[in-house]
Structure 1
């Protein structure tokens, strides 16, 4: 049975957030947060603290990585303190990135050599990576109001991706925030389940995976083989 080819972004307009955002064939409509974004006082204070301690770190909202024309959007929770917050590129500088980028390379979603450095020349192919919260939070735990302040950026980014077909949520927190950004209700109809592919009412698909953190791999909750299975499922959905 063939899938409907209707616009997958239909229904993405949470009216209280960004009513004028529409899908366009370039990135002109997507405006990421400024380097000194003031929306979340707690995150601003945390950012200033680490700017004082580590002047050579990025210490700012972490921009998304990958082409706006990608069919796959990978959504993480927030930048890691010594990973993306330090390097300025999502999932770069910590173990989670080692597993994620090696997997992207294996499945043809990246080209080049990953060296955990934003200047390594790695390119993403048909894939983009973003975070639900763009600034690093204390203890890697964003507060509800911080999710709310940052959500319009994810809403706008999704609406600006003209070829988007699949979102991959890394962890339950990212899953919940992706559903909110997509304005999918009731969210309880689409529970977080590892390697589940949810077909959403707006024509997009939401894939779930346990987060590729060192903790999850050390405890056996997520293995490399399990992570690869998620991407096989995504490849099948994109091929269909």
Structure 2
């Protein structure tokens, strides 16, 4: 029986595989940030979010300590989410330009958001072991999203994590180099990969990533989807070994 996104999401939320991340996310949820003192922080791993029939997959790094770790939804409640969702809205992949909390009415159209690590990491730097612990969830999501044709990875770690998931699924092609705006045709049966800078404040407030640069990423993705030049992603249906407790 194949995984559903709902089942994967339930398992993600209950995950405690990484002691350092568990301690950090829960401490942040207790201490809170002053302007969010009235919030009941989520403080757990964050599942993916979006359209289960999506042809566009967006892969980020990890929940922000006072963003998704507070709100419980990917790219919600922080500057990165504001920048990303506004861009997705302009490109027609979201029904509204804001993402503030889980009940704000946001719906994604033909797009799904996930990350390579599901808990907020200290300094936004998950260890290699922590990334490996989360990898099976991304692999399973890829299997549960068989219509995906285009993948946009946000940052170098997200790109590496996505490629690691493809390796598990049987991809044996070259490893694309990360650079903003690069497009990679990974071969028959694999999605088209577009790599982008992450919409972190460090990138957006310094001008390294502008709204115009980001809009070009989503225009590229939309063009591939409209042109039908990327084949649907058809991952193997065999079970992944090593996905136990």
Higher helix share: 2
Distance 1:114 1:143, change over 3 A: same
1:99-138 map, 5 Å: 99-112=83-96, 114-138=98-122
In structure 2, the partner of 1:163 is 147
Distance 1:106 1:173, change over 3 A: same
Q: TM-score, normalised by structure 1?
A: 0.84
- CA-based RMSD of the aligned residues comes to 1.9
Q: CA deviation at 1:52?
A: 3.1
In structure 1, the partner of 2:177 is 191
Q: CA deviation at 1:217?
A: 1.5
Secondary structure in 2 matching 1:236: helix
Is structure 2 residue 53 aligned with structure 1 residue 75? Answer: no
Is structure 2 residue 200 aligned with structure 1 residue 213? Answer: yes
CA distance in 1, matches of 2:14, 2:222: 37
Could you list the runs of 5+ residues in structure 2 that have no partner in the other structure?
Answer: 33-38, 228-245
Distance 1:88 1:28, change over 3 A: closer
Q: CA deviation at 1:60?
A: 0.4
Q: How many aligned residue pairs are there?
A: 217
Q: CA deviation at 1:239?
A: 1.1
Q: TM-score, normalised by structure 2?
A: 0.82
Query: In the alignment, is the contact (CA less than 8 A) between 2:59 and 2:158 conserved in 1?
Result: yes
Partner deviation per Cα, 1:187-231 (whole Å, 9 max, x = no partner): 53x111211111113431111110111111222211110000111
Query: In the alignment, is the contact (CA less than 8 A) between 2:85 and 2:97 conserved in 1?
Result: no
In structure 1, the partner of 2:230 is none
In structure 1, the partner of 2:237 is none
In structure 2, the partner of 1:15 is none
Query: In the alignment, is the contact (CA less than 8 A) between 1:78 and 1:131 conserved in 2?
Result: yes
Query: In the alignment, is the contact (CA less than 8 A) between 1:110 and 1:122 conserved in 2?
Result: yes
In structure 2, the partner of 1:13 is none
